[in-house]
Structure 1
Amino acid sequence: MNRKLGKVVLAATGVLCASGSAVLAQEISAAQPAEQQGASQVSGPAATQTDPQDATKVTAREDVTVTAPGSTRDVQSIGAKEMLQSTPGTSPIAVLGRLPSVEITSADPYGAYEWAVRISVRGFNQNQLGFTLDDVPLGDMSYGNLNGLHISRALIDENLGQATLSQGTGALETASTSNLGGAIQFMSNDPLDKRKLEVAQSFGSFSATRTFGRFDSGVLPGHTRFYIDGVYQLSDKWRGAGPINQSYYQGNLKLEHFVGNKGVLTFFVDYSHRQEVDYQDDNKVWVNKLGYKWDNFGNWGVALQAANAYNAQGGGGFVFASLPTTFPTPVSSLQSAPGDLSNDPEDAGYYAAGGLRRDILSYLSYKMALTSHLTWKSTVYGHENSGAGLWFTPYEATYDATGTPVSPISERTSEYGIARGGFVTSLSYETARNTVEGGAWFEKESFDLARKFYATSLASPVQSIYDRPSNAFYTQWSYNFPSTVYQLHLQDQYRIRPTLTVSAGFKSVETNMTGNLGAFNTGVIQASGVTAATYAQGSLESGKAFLPQFGVNWKINKNNEMFADVADNVRAYQAGGPGFGNSPWGTSQAGFNALTSTLKPESSWSEEAGVRHTDNRFQGQASYFHVNFSNRLLAIQQGPAIAGAASLLTNVGGVTTNGVDGAVSAKLHEGWTLYNALTFSRSTYNDDYTTTGATGVPATVATGGKIVVDSPEFLYKNELSYAKGQFDAHIDSDYMGKRYFTYTDDNSVSGRFLANFGLDYHKDEVGAFDQLKLQLNVYNLAGAQYYSTVGTNGFIASDPTSVSLNTLQVGAPRTITGTFSVRF
């Protein structure tokens, strides 16, 4: 820790020791079994709480909080009801797509396929946001996550209690090193006071089945309660052939033990095992010529033919006389004649690709009301992950021990390993007019990343796409990245008068990361001219000692208020090897040494202001936001690639975002509710940048004034729901405007419109059953064909013909799912 940050740490610690709030005392009170609550309960501001027993009869009714009265920031949330309204198996991240300024895209109907699922908020993409579960950091939730895991693997969907989005300025208390553009805090639901057993079975399109079971112990002697549950899900890809089965199983355990009437101890553990087979990344030419449902071959003989044809027609690799030298149908339709590789037929299809992930996440948390005004909470957590991204590549042949090629295809892996642990702690102190809260976060991690190749044969792929391979014949590189994170925050909310509240706070964050090269260029084959200096090693520090945040809330009258706030944020550098995202270590040692003295981490300055209205029938909010995003980092080739020139992480300037958004929810006549959310936003690059391509001559890339990739200027969402007695129904729609996928805006995908439908009927207290429920969900009701995720393989400066980078995913078709559940 540097001296400057160390001084801030000491100062903030001193303030925390003398201060702190009874906010958590409320939480403890609400969570305790009924017999624990009484006159001796810790006092605090009154709060409306839901009877824990009501949670056993939650149905799919509207539960979107479009505004947060009294907040000095733009805060919105989605609760358990909204999660239950969605198709079982839908990722919690996908449900957030109902909120304004939130863009969600995926290649599957559930938002669970991690390679393609994306969330963007006000021009910031997924790895520029912060995510936590019950205060435990989840990292940036990107594919190949270097410091966390996706919420779909951290929590079973049915266990989501609430998801809160702090747009723009984010929340100071969020344990994250990536929250440039906002923070999403997921909260798991609590065990029930009454013993319950729930079982749900779903069937759907594309051979989908999902089995879920949960047991709640109820309150046991000693004031303890817990739940344990599990899910097993199978589904075929909606396009493709061969190995197309997606599967995962997951288990959660959450236990709460109440200590007197002032404390609660919580233990949580999650186990997740996910096996995904990839959807092929597309370009426009392939979709037009090969069809909307085109995907990987899934046939070993066809994949061998395609790889051999590429080598025979200009690829340069070994040509096997026993294999055809023409591309298979229909890939051959991409060629005007043999030897024409202009439409990239070699990448149009592979045998298969996939992702394997196994995670164990656990935490132990304690919350305690120290006095009637002072509350303390702490969480200690650990996370272990192992996984691999698999791809049967035609660009590297398989070689035997003598160096002789035996197959034109090898299985390439990106192998991941995470071992991390840390703690999050805070104190809060509340008086009639003042709330002071502050805390600390520390994390230590070891992240392993390797690029390896495994053997195939002419007879078979040898390795299953569902298994992690062993005995690599070639290791291109292998890294270990140890890192530590220190973060402190302190914030004060002061009520100047009953109608006027101001808030001020700051956080200090420092991340220290080192890249250590473990192995390179080893195995049966070795690339010539490769030395340790080809790869970067060394340490980098990122962060900032003072990141302020200020806000104000003015309550105009009983139902109306105004708010405004500003915040400064910074993002840590990303770990990675060559070709692995925007990592400082994705270059040579000379390149790394050159950038260490000048590189600055990405940062943002966010401003927002808005109005809110809340009454018994109507909730509404409208906001204006402005963001200055500085020091945008991009890996740029520093010379001719054919000469082996490495990429170098480069500061390519800033981004400016201006926009307005709003949401309204109105209770109409007799059970009808109408929800609408609208966003107009424009994010543009501030500067041009320079690159050196194959010619070795510097060239200017004209990005100044261009609209940021994957940033639609217009979003509109609505939902009409009906709830009466035991019946619930809803229909929602979502429009997303045009999106660019090149930095110079020379190619884009057009806007798209999606509609979804759902209904359920439940019957309570039927014989031995507490509840019986039937549910039907239809995704993409109109069967629209559209481009969903853009940028799965990253973005490039220019691609006017859409063949230079295959980085698009088409959206899933109409998908129908039916669910039957019982609760004892």
Structure 2
Amino acid sequence: MLAATGVLCASGSAVLAQEISAAQPAEQQGASQVSGPAATQTDPQDATKVTAREDVTVTAPGSTRDVQSIGAKEMLQSTPGTSPIAVLGRLPSVEITSADPYGAYEWAVRISVRGFNQNQLGFTLDDVPLGDMSYGNLNGLHISRALIDENLGQATLSQGTGALETASTSNLGGAIQFMSNDPLDKRKLEVAQSFGSFSATRTFGRFDSGVLPGHTRFYIDGVYQLSDKWRGAGPINQSYYQGNLKLEHFVGNKGVLTFFVDYSHRQEVDYQDDNKVWVNKLGYKWDNFGNWGVALQAANAYNAQGGGGFVFASLPTTFPTPVSSLQSAPGDLSNDPEDAGYYAAGGLRRDILSYLSYKMALTSHLTWKSTVYGHENSGAGLWFTPYEATYDATGTPVSPISERTSEYGIARGGFVTSLSYETARNTVEGGAWFEKESFDLARKFYATSLASPVQSIYDRPSNAFYTQWSYNFPSTVYQLHLQDQYRIRPTLTVSAGFKSVETNMTGNLGAFNTGVIQASGVTAATYAQGSLESGKAFLPQFGVNWKINKNNEMFADVADNVRAYQAGGPGFGNSPWGTSQAGFNALTSTLKPESSWSEEAGVRHTDNRFQGQASYFHVNFSNRLLAIQQGPAIAGAASLLTNVGGVTTNGVDGAVSAKLHEGWTLYNALTFSRSTYNDDYTTTGATGVPATVATGGKIVVDSPEFLYKNELSYAKGQFDAHIDSDYMGKRYFTYTDDNSVSGRFLANFGLDYHKDEVGAFDQLKLQLNVYNLAGAQYYSTVGTNGFIASDPTSVSLNTLQVGAPRTITGTFSVRF
């Protein structure tokens, strides 16, 4: 029913009015979308023509682009608490990695698509921009903090060329549009309780009002989750609580007003980033110490054995066991024992996201929708570092460890609006996006003592004894788009459109080098300030769809995209402001934003029992930006964001879904892809002599050439079961391909049984999920601490995360 799904149909206004007044119950929990003659959700044709298997949609008949979806059922069959990002890993050309079994640990969760990493993709929730969802996200938040998992209606991936209307400044390699589900027509109360491995508990509750007098309905729900890290000691508890409210009000028979608000509070304790030497010598489950006395000993040993810091006579000067096994003798720091373990590290995030949206059929052919949104974030990344001692008011060291923070603050707001006009042969759609933001970023240090850490890893500290730097980045984004889909004849459709985007950002330096200690020789000129503009006035997209017959079709499209510069201070990502004032002044006249030109072509087949799609894709990625040291770091030379050339990607992917026999369904997805750097680049290291880094022709870091996914599922009556597997090929983690992690194979299993109409209950349900069924040991995420040119022995940078072991979760839910 239209009233059940929030569908607004321009040519069906009378039907909508009848259904609102009748307020008939409807159990469907589909994604919010506009459909019918004036549909404009993704491509004008996508919202109505994406075929909807109950779990994975492998093809989108009629679309001129490669569009695939994950539905609500697939999300609900996953382990409760699983991030929607992790579920997208079932799609071809999608690489998902994480250090935890749920894909919810933000420091280590990564998604890559066709050679583009997470911060080169675009993400939205109900049209609201989420930024690039990276850990230190400057302009948004992760989907796990924006929406409770059970409220996901649909996640749609537009691979390669992306969607023109996506409100994003980072979608070089595609766009992911998350849609929340709608309130139910009938009053419901649902409660679910999960228990699992590593002391995991999760409580979820949702209340649906049903249709109220005045044609209004809403839901309000919340979740509270606790679990221990699967490795480590000491403070290892992970927790979050989150609440969502969504309200829909039907305005007459032509409009729907929607209000949504999300509150999220997360406390994450980090898994230690590894290298191969540590995993081999210290064990697969090695992690941070979690013991203050041991952490003090390690920090003091480093200073005593060559680190150069103050040595405390009351503390041991040898590394603790088993870290000492990394040394051939005291003083041997070649295997980086000082970084093998810290006391602890963590991340804190608090977010409030809300929007008000209105969709209206202005005429029988014209539909308008607009969304106004706001987002506020407060967060911090915490690390008990042995590289900066704690000092008292007199400047005397009192502990070899301090707590270093990267502190974040976001205040942003904007609007997204569009009009769609449809005739028998044409669908013309255009819109605008505007956003204004203030982003705060600071690097500070807080006191510890020999007696205790003083600071809790679960709380944001106060009263910093030293502020290294702090920035404020005000920015504005303007984006316009226009697209037309024209049906030349019933079997042939062409589409053409463009977007124009401009981002203006300014870096303003606040406090720097202040506190009870000051670094010598640091002035305001040590840091960069100033404004940059990025974007492009004309970014075209063209596509064609040829329907060969009832079941088969071909499609092709091309698109041009650009990415905005990232905010950040020294040592914080690839930011133009991560350098000196002289360096920033030098790059402003030559720096160009990263851009991509994507081409794809494919075939689709759809019938009652079989869906399949195969695609070829080619991408030219230009102006790749990398922060490169411009001289000896010991002499104070700054890094400078530098254009290091391009990347070329060629590949094929495909997916098939077949209904076999009496409830059995088999799904397979396969990808062969090769992404290589086009050019070498030059850097100046410790010697001060320029050196060439031979990256030309090398495989791009974290870009496996082979991916394979499959799933066998069975559904009959009240019982569902599935087993899926995922193979990922070798991945490099240096730019020169001199080190890599091997391919890995994962299998997962799940089943559930529900019983309807049991006494006072509408439904009782039991669910069991097993992650990593075979208990495989493997390297999961690579690049958690970035990538470097060369590391043949895997000791120069601890940037690997090992994968979570077998994890079992059971859930019992009731619905009234």
Deviation at 1:26, TM superposition (A): 14
CA distance change for structure 1 residues 324 and 15 in 2, over 3 Å: closer, same or farther? closer
CA distance change for structure 1 residues 32 and 101 in 2, over 3 Å: closer, same or farther? farther
Q: 1:23 aligns with which of 10, 15, 36?
A: 15
Secondary structure (helix, strand or coil) at the match of 1:20 reads helix
CA distance change for structure 1 residues 141 and 42 in 2, over 3 Å: closer, same or farther? closer
**Between Structure 1 and Structure 2, how many residues are aligned?**
816
Give CA deviations for 1:374-408 in whole Å, capped at 9, x if unaligned: 00000000000000000000000000000000000
Tell me the distance in 1 between the aligned counterparts of 2:763 and 2:5: 51
Corresponding residue for 1:432? 424
Contact 2:546 2:554 in 1 (8 A): yes
Secondary structure (helix, strand or coil) at the match of 1:22 reads helix
Deviation at 1:428, TM superposition (A): 0.2
Contact 2:756 2:763 in 1 (8 A): yes
Corresponding residue for 1:404? 396
21-30 or 661-670, which deviates more: 21-30
Deviation at 1:742, TM superposition (A): 0.1
Tell me the distance in 2 between the aligned counterparts of 1:42 and 1:79: 17
Q: 1:722 aligns with which of 689, 714, 717?
A: 714
Q: 2:576 aligns with which of 584, 594, 601?
A: 584
CA distance change for structure 1 residues 55 and 163 in 2, over 3 Å: closer, same or farther? closer
Tell me the distance in 2 between the aligned counterparts of 1:11 and 1:603: 42
Deviation at 1:15, TM superposition (A): 26
Contact 1:505 1:550 in 2 (8 A): yes
26-35 or 145-154, which deviates more: 26-35
Give CA deviations for 1:783-815 in whole Å, capped at 9, x if unaligned: 000000000000000000000000000000000
Secondary structure (helix, strand or coil) at the match of 1:820 reads strand
What is the TM-score normalised by the length of structure 2? 0.95
Give CA deviations for 1:186-214 in whole Å, capped at 9, x if unaligned: 00000000000000000000000000000
CA distance change for structure 1 residues 156 and 387 in 2, over 3 Å: closer, same or farther? same
709-718 or 23-32, which deviates more: 23-32
Tell me the distance in 2 between the aligned counterparts of 1:448 and 1:520: 14
Contact 1:42 1:262 in 2 (8 A): no
Give CA deviations for 1:116-166 in whole Å, capped at 9, x if unaligned: 000000000000000000000000000010000000000000000000000
CA distance change for structure 1 residues 49 and 76 in 2, over 3 Å: closer, same or farther? closer
Deviation at 1:679, TM superposition (A): 0.1
CA distance change for structure 1 residues 612 and 24 in 2, over 3 Å: closer, same or farther? farther
CA distance change for structure 1 residues 133 and 467 in 2, over 3 Å: closer, same or farther? same
Deviation at 1:25, TM superposition (A): 12
Corresponding residue for 1:695? 687
Contact 1:42 1:372 in 2 (8 A): no
- Aligned-CA RMSD value: 4.9
Contact 2:46 2:60 in 1 (8 A): no
Corresponding residue for 2:250? 258
Deviation at 1:55, TM superposition (A): 18
Secondary structure (helix, strand or coil) at the match of 1:590 reads helix
Secondary structure (helix, strand or coil) at the match of 1:444 reads strand
Contact 1:126 1:140 in 2 (8 A): yes
Give CA deviations for 1:338-360 in whole Å, capped at 9, x if unaligned: 00000000000000000000000
Tell me the distance in 2 between the aligned counterparts of 1:242 and 1:510: 47
Contact 1:20 1:430 in 2 (8 A): no
Contact 1:437 1:492 in 2 (8 A): yes
Deviation at 1:62, TM superposition (A): 4.8
Deviation at 1:76, TM superposition (A): 0.1
Contact 1:53 1:194 in 2 (8 A): no
Deviation at 1:249, TM superposition (A): 0.1
Deviation at 1:766, TM superposition (A): 0.6
Tell me the distance in 2 between the aligned counterparts of 1:356 and 1:39: 30
Give CA deviations for 1:45-68 in whole Å, capped at 9, x if unaligned: 599999999999999995100000
Deviation at 1:22, TM superposition (A): 14
Deviation at 1:23, TM superposition (A): 15
Contact 1:295 1:349 in 2 (8 A): yes
Tell me the distance in 1 between the aligned counterparts of 2:793 and 2:699: 19
Specify every segment of 5 or more residues in structure 2 that has no aligned partner in the other structure, as ranges.
Answer: none
Tell me the distance in 2 between the aligned counterparts of 1:14 and 1:233: 30
Deviation at 1:30, TM superposition (A): 14
Tell me the distance in 2 between the aligned counterparts of 1:55 and 1:476: 50
Secondary structure (helix, strand or coil) at the match of 2:11 reads coil
CA distance change for structure 1 residues 602 and 58 in 2, over 3 Å: closer, same or farther? closer
CA distance change for structure 1 residues 24 and 677 in 2, over 3 Å: closer, same or farther? farther
Deviation at 1:41, TM superposition (A): 16
Deviation at 1:31, TM superposition (A): 11
CA distance change for structure 1 residues 77 and 333 in 2, over 3 Å: closer, same or farther? same
Give CA deviations for 1:449-481 in whole Å, capped at 9, x if unaligned: 000000000000000000000000000000000
Tell me the distance in 2 between the aligned counterparts of 1:701 and 1:30: 70
Contact 1:403 1:525 in 2 (8 A): yes
Tell me the distance in 2 between the aligned counterparts of 1:265 and 1:254: 11
CA distance change for structure 1 residues 115 and 15 in 2, over 3 Å: closer, same or farther? closer
Secondary structure (helix, strand or coil) at the match of 1:287 reads helix
Secondary structure (helix, strand or coil) at the match of 2:302 reads helix
CA distance change for structure 1 residues 74 and 23 in 2, over 3 Å: closer, same or farther? farther
2:382 aligned with 1:390, yes or no? yes
CA distance change for structure 1 residues 15 and 223 in 2, over 3 Å: closer, same or farther? closer
Tell me the distance in 2 between the aligned counterparts of 1:58 and 1:206: 39
Secondary structure (helix, strand or coil) at the match of 2:6 reads helix
Deviation at 1:70, TM superposition (A): 0.1
Residue pairs, 1:53-68, within 5 angstroms: 62-68=54-60
Tell me the distance in 1 between the aligned counterparts of 2:586 and 2:46: 61
Give CA deviations for 1:647-696 in whole Å, capped at 9, x if unaligned: 00000000000000000000001000000000000000000000000000
Deviation at 1:27, TM superposition (A): 13
21-30 or 426-435, which deviates more: 21-30
What is the TM-score normalised by the length of structure 1? 0.94
Secondary structure (helix, strand or coil) at the match of 1:36 reads coil
Contact 1:250 1:272 in 2 (8 A): yes
CA distance change for structure 1 residues 48 and 342 in 2, over 3 Å: closer, same or farther? closer
CA distance change for structure 1 residues 219 and 772 in 2, over 3 Å: closer, same or farther? same
CA distance change for structure 1 residues 440 and 15 in 2, over 3 Å: closer, same or farther? farther
Deviation at 1:532, TM superposition (A): 0.1
Tell me the distance in 2 between the aligned counterparts of 1:638 and 1:10: 61
Corresponding residue for 2:803? 811
Contact 2:32 2:179 in 1 (8 A): no
CA distance change for structure 1 residues 479 and 704 in 2, over 3 Å: closer, same or farther? same
Contact 1:44 1:373 in 2 (8 A): no
Secondary structure (helix, strand or coil) at the match of 1:34 reads coil
Secondary structure (helix, strand or coil) at the match of 2:395 reads coil
CA distance change for structure 1 residues 59 and 298 in 2, over 3 Å: closer, same or farther? farther
Contact 1:115 1:792 in 2 (8 A): yes
Secondary structure (helix, strand or coil) at the match of 1:798 reads coil
CA distance change for structure 1 residues 60 and 768 in 2, over 3 Å: closer, same or farther? farther
Contact 2:10 2:37 in 1 (8 A): no
CA distance change for structure 1 residues 58 and 306 in 2, over 3 Å: closer, same or farther? farther
Contact 2:29 2:153 in 1 (8 A): no
CA distance change for structure 1 residues 86 and 24 in 2, over 3 Å: closer, same or farther? farther
CA distance change for structure 1 residues 695 and 62 in 2, over 3 Å: closer, same or farther? same
Deviation at 1:364, TM superposition (A): 0.2
2:111 aligned with 1:132, yes or no? no
Tell me the distance in 2 between the aligned counterparts of 1:254 and 1:194: 15
CA distance change for structure 1 residues 459 and 46 in 2, over 3 Å: closer, same or farther? closer
Residue pairs, 1:615-626, within 5 angstroms: 615-626=607-618
Contact 1:305 1:325 in 2 (8 A): yes
Runs of 4+ in structure 1 over 6 Å off: 9-43, 46-61
Tell me the distance in 2 between the aligned counterparts of 1:395 and 1:782: 40
Deviation at 1:11, TM superposition (A): 37
Deviation at 1:13, TM superposition (A): 31
CA distance change for structure 1 residues 592 and 49 in 2, over 3 Å: closer, same or farther? closer
Secondary structure (helix, strand or coil) at the match of 1:15 reads coil
Tell me the distance in 2 between the aligned counterparts of 1:492 and 1:757: 44
CA distance change for structure 1 residues 129 and 11 in 2, over 3 Å: closer, same or farther? farther
